[in-house]
Amino acid sequence: MINFTPGPSQLYFTVENHVRQAFRDGVPSLSHRSKEFEKISKTTTDGLKELLGIPSDFHIFFVGSATEIWERVIQNLVEAQSLHFVNGAFSKRFHEIAGQLGKKNLKIEASLGDGFTDFKVGPTELIALTHNETSTGVMLTMDFINQFRDQHPEALIVVDAVSSLPYPQFDFTKIDSLFFSVQKGFGLPAGLGIWVVNDRCLAKAESLLSKGISIGTYHNLPTLLANAKKNQTPETPNVLSIYLLGKVVEDFLRRGIQLIRKETEYKAALLYQTLTQHKLADPFVNDAKLRSQTVIVAQTGMHTEAITKHLQSHGFYPGYGYGDKKKEQLRFANFPTHSKETFEHLVDLLEKFS
């Protein structure tokens, strides 16, 4: 059985072996104040920096989930007002969280499946971008993301890359913070969020604190940094997950990030081509430049159930469409755990069903 749901995803194929090794080495009962944990934490952090090209002046923090990071971003980085680009359920939730925390949360919206056009952005403290909208399969282009730095040198630019990493190569001179969780592209069991920030973010949190604004407690940026400098965490973290992430990152590095990127694009091209030519399905996202490379959404309309059953009968489990699209769309995760052969088999099955 192969699982194409966009998260939690099919596990990366090495994970079960790494879990076995972790138990043999006593990782699950390591103290988070021990040298052994510090070594694991450093291995994972260093590996991520190498894999994703994260510059040395960025910090990597381990927290509970990407959902937590939405909250921590607003708490630590926004005094009064944030601006959100909203084009689906997840970017919408990020926007809502800012409102729940009492901030003025501006938004620029695009229709589902579309990109952002004709937008004007006034001065803002923070620009929130969702690189890959998991609900619709729209992926922002790097040109789009990278334009904001020059236009808004005052703003912190924060990118939700939950369902796209490790695929995208970000230009870290154009953004201030990036975050993701481990149960998507990294193919790990859920329960860990990764928050990457630069010193501008730290300075902002310190400045809010000095104004007497609450930035939270154990997971505010200064506390996270003070612990991360020792390769520790403020609380007892998901030690096993931090270990497993380090191991999978090592696997990715061994395979080579360029190869992973090329294969991702090859598999995406294969599936989009098949959908484009298919009689019963279409790519949901019309503009080819905006089509996600990692979460491919098919408009399958009245054929959704039949296609699903056909694929499932061969052990291939697509993800349902998100929310009210459940009965008319299918979503296919295209993560490093999904091999080229798997995708070739998938398109073969789709082509035969028409």
Near a second copy in 252-291, by CB under 8 A: none
Under the binding rule (CB under 8 A), the answer on residue 21 touching a second copy is no
- Looking at residue 326, its amino acid is K
Q: How many CA atoms lie within 13 A of 208 on its CB side?
A: 22
Q: Does 312 bind a second copy (CB under 8 A)?
A: no
> From the CB of 224, what's the least distance to a second copy, in Å?
12
Stretch that binds a second copy, among 117-125, 134-142, 234-242, 246-254 (CB under 8 A): 234-242
Q: How far apart are CA 280 and CA 227, in angstroms?
A: 54
Does 101 bind a second copy (CB under 8 A)? Our answer is yes
215 near 205, Cβ under 8 Å?
yes
The reply to whether 97 sits near a second copy by the rule CB under 8 A is: yes
Distance CA 118, CA 136 (A): 21
Which CB sits closer to a second copy, 8 or 308?
8
Of 220 and 274, the one with the shorter C-beta distance to a second copy is 220
Tell me whether residue 274 or residue 337 sits nearer to a second copy (CB atom).
337
E strand or H helix at 299: strand 295-299
23 binds a second copy (CB under 8 A): yes
- Torsion sign, CA atoms 50, 53, 59, 60: negative
Q: Which of 10, 105, 130, 329 binds a second copy (CB under 8 A)?
A: 10
Most distant CA atoms of the chain, gap in Å = 64
Q: Is 238 in the site for a second copy (CB under 8 A)?
A: yes
> Considering the rule CB under 8 A, would residue 2 count as an interface residue with a second copy?
no
CA 209 remoteness from chain centre: 28
CB 156 within 8 A of CB 201: yes
Number of residues located near a second copy, criterion CB under 8 A: 50
HSE of 315, CA atoms in CB hemisphere, 13 A = 6
Interface with a second copy includes 308 (CB under 8 A)?
Answer: no
Using CB under 8 A as the binding rule, whether residue 181 contacts a second copy is answered as: yes
Shortest Cβ 16–a second copy spacing (Å): 5
The residue from 18, 30, 105, 284 that contacts a second copy (CB under 8 A) is 30
**Residue 205 binding a second copy, by CB under 8 A:** no
| String of DSSP letters for 185-219 | TT---S--EEEEEEHHHHHHHHHHHHTT----STT
Does residue 84 contact residue 70 with C-beta atoms inside 8 Å? no
- Of these, 239, 245, 295, 347, which contacts a second copy (CB under 8 A)? 239
Distance between CA atoms of residues 71 and 207, nearest Å: 18
CA 269 to chain centre: 21
- Binding mask 38-67 toward a second copy (x if CB under 8 A, else -) reads -------------------------xxxxx
Min dist CB 114 to a second copy, Å, is: 26
Interface residue list for a second copy (CB under 8 A): 1, 3, 5, 7-11, 15-16, 19, 23, 26, 28-32, 63-68, 70-71, 97, 100-102, 181, 183, 188-192, 214, 216-219, 234-241
